[in-house]
A and B are shown apart, each in its own frame.
Chain A
Amino acid sequence: LAKTTQPISMDSYEGQEVNITCSHNNIATNDYITWYQQFPSQGPRFIIQGYKTKVTNEVASLFIPADRKSSTLSLPRVSLSDTAVYYCLVGEASGTYKYIFGTGTRLKVLA
């Protein structure tokens, strides 16, 4: 059964780079890793997705090692508005579709 593990919480200061790691030991061969951001009383919002190596977009970078058993979301120069819960998501290739969210990392950005 696919399972993901993330740190429960992290604190950072404005302007710093934040790295959040997710472990997914049983990730399926064809599966991508996707990260979402969630604010209170809102649905999760897509941040970035990748399969291997490094992916970068306008808000974040995603690093995935060759064995793909973990991934690291990197948020450059965080601001107060980045205070949120961050989830990694993988799928489970067991014949039918099943999404597995991580436990979530509560990021608090301090002034």
Chain B
Amino acid sequence: ETGVTQSPTHLIKTRGQQVTLRCSSQSGHNTVSWYQQALGQGPQFIFQYYREEENGRGNFPPRFSGLQFPNYSSELNVNALELDDSALYLCASSSGQGVRVYNSPLHFGNGTRLTVT
């Protein structure tokens, strides 16, 4: 069983640039969610995708966008980078959907460390 993998592991960008982060879900998982974790803070939910459509979103501006592909891999895109976007970005996959979606444990990758200068 292959776990959740994220790429790249580290990235340095300049303010105003755009970045794309990638995630491969665990085998058999059809739901993916993304989180931003600032240093010393808990993960903050960005959004969730199921069957290639966004079905949940946290308090993040539209410059944070995503995609889920038919093979359930996913991308997080951030436009017009700001210094405060510097954080660890985590991807998590889970199985199942519906009323009890919160009851499917999340399987996390080890994240991408983004530094904006």
Contact = CB atoms under 8 A, between A and B. Distances in A.
Interface residues of B, number: 29
A64 to B, nearest CB: 14
Interface in A31-76: 31-32, 34, 36, 41-46, 49, 51
Q: Which of A28, A90, A99, A104 has the most CB of B within 10 A?
A: A99
Contacts of B4: 43
A34 B109 contact: no
B107 A46 contact: yes
A62 B26 CA distance: 26
B43 to A, nearest CB: 5
Given A43-B4, A43-B92, A98-B45, A49 B103 contact: yes
B45 A96 contact: no
A30 B108 contact: no
Interface residues of A, number: 27
B28 interface: no
A36 B107 CA distance: 10
Given A32-B103, A43-B108, A44-B106, 6 more contacts: A32-B102, A42-B110, A96-B56, A98-B56, A102-B42, A103-B42
15 contacts: A34-B102, A34-B105, A41-B110, A41-B111, A42-B110, A44-B92, A46-B106, A97-B56, A99-B58, A99-B102, A99-B106, A100-B45, A101-B43, A101-B45, A103-B42
